[in-house]
Structure 1
């Protein structure tokens, strides 16, 4: 990517994060973002179609960053407690940015996006599970449940929060093994 384009992108994103940290997404205008980033509207529109497009792109970057930091997505089935620890540490590493980007009306988008991304990785390895309703419920429960438990309790001792969530997630392993056995027979 051209250095000027990269610098412009970074300026747009930094201005957006700064504005987003102070106000809801719906209240941010392209005009004020351009003023903050010190660019013309035409420059903004050369990169994004509107504020929502920018927000979606940044949200997707964060989700991909978290998903890419998970070395073994299959651990959700094979070693769920270890998977939960890895996922929760990825949340911790992106905590400030996710708190800004996924606040207000965007709050539930994060957990849904993470779930979609992780399930996609798991279904690549275990395609037979994609249509398994019970397995999808268990995966949703572990992914969404761990995220929401983390969010509600992150003001406490974070390692205790992670250990408790990992332990609870690990407890579902026998159910996974049963479903995996049924899918293989």
Structure 2
């Protein structure tokens, strides 16, 4: 008899397979073989491999989601170093799964999930403080995609510490892209 938490075992098998090859090359059969289950068991829990990947990313980001949902005043998130608050503690460097998402160019899933968590926090606790929800969503998309680009660069080049990389994201975000570019081009 297999373990009690079948979904967790599929998640473990998914990450093992995903570290070796892109999602498009991972078949349900290969995943089931790795997890030690048959295809019907997989389909009892997941619609497809994409749903499993989403579940895996959601599980991985649970600590980030908890930090976001604990924010009492959403404005404080944007006055402080939001990225560092959400992913502090060597979250990136010590998380092989995040590195795997970047390896296969699937980091956009992280941005989408973090944005959705921020929007859920706003809708749940701070809806009355936001004047334009659509504009907020656009700004979050812009900022998260930029932060993910810096993180991708950091993974590829790895020349400085995670703390220094987070400071760079914060500086660009707080100064604005055009002001940061002006300083560089002086």
TM-score of the superposed pair, with normalisation by structure 2: 0.73
Contact 2:111/2:141, CA 8 A, preserved across alignment: no
Deviations 1:61-112 (A, max 9, x none): 2233322134654666225333232123264276311222464353322212
Q: In the aligned structure 1, how far is the partner of 2:132 from the partner of 2:19? A: 39
Tell me whether 1:88 sits opposite 2:87 in the alignment: yes
Determine the structure 1 residue equivalent to 2:164: 160
Q: Residue 132 of structure 1: CA displacement?
A: 4.4
Structure 1 residues 47 and 94: CA distance shift in structure 2, 3 A: farther
Q: How many residues align?
A: 169
Query: Quick one: structure 1 residues 131 and 19, their matched pair in 2 at CA, closer, same or farther if it must change by over 3 Å?
Result: same
Structure with the larger RCO, 1 or 2 (CA within 8 Å, 6+ apart): 1
SS in 1 for 2:44: helix
Unaligned residue ranges in structure 2 (runs of 5+): 177-186
Counterpart position of 2:7 = 9
- Hey, what's the Cα distance between the residues in 2 that align with 1:46 and 1:30? 13
- Report which of the two has the higher share of helix: 1
Residue 23 of structure 2 corresponds to 25
Which stretch of the first structure deviates more once superposed, 25-34 or 81-90? Answer: 81-90
Can you give the 5+ residue segments of structure 1 that lack an aligned partner in the other structure?
173-185
Q: Please say which of residues 158-167 and 76-85 is displaced more in the overlay.
A: 76-85
1:21 positional shift: 0.6
Aligned equivalents of 2:31, 2:125: Cα separation in 1: 42
1:55–1:101 contact (8 Å) kept in structure 2: no
d(CA) in 2 for partners of 1:160 and 1:143?
18
Report the alpha carbon displacement of residue 124 of structure 1 after superposing the two structures with TM.
2.6
With normalisation by structure 1, the TM-score equals 0.73
CA offset at residue 143 of structure 1? 3.4
Map of 1:64-103 to 2, 5 A cutoff? Answer: 64-70=62-68, 72-73=70-71, 77-80=75-78, 81-89=80-88, 91-92=91-92, 95-101=95-101, 103=103
Q: How large is the RMSD of aligned CA atoms in angstroms?
A: 2.9
Map 1:1-185; keep pairs closer than 5 Å.
4-6=3-5, 8-70=6-68, 72-73=70-71, 77-80=75-78, 81-89=80-88, 91-92=91-92, 95-101=95-101, 103-104=103-104, 106-128=106-128, 129=130, 131-154=132-155, 155=158, 156-171=160-175
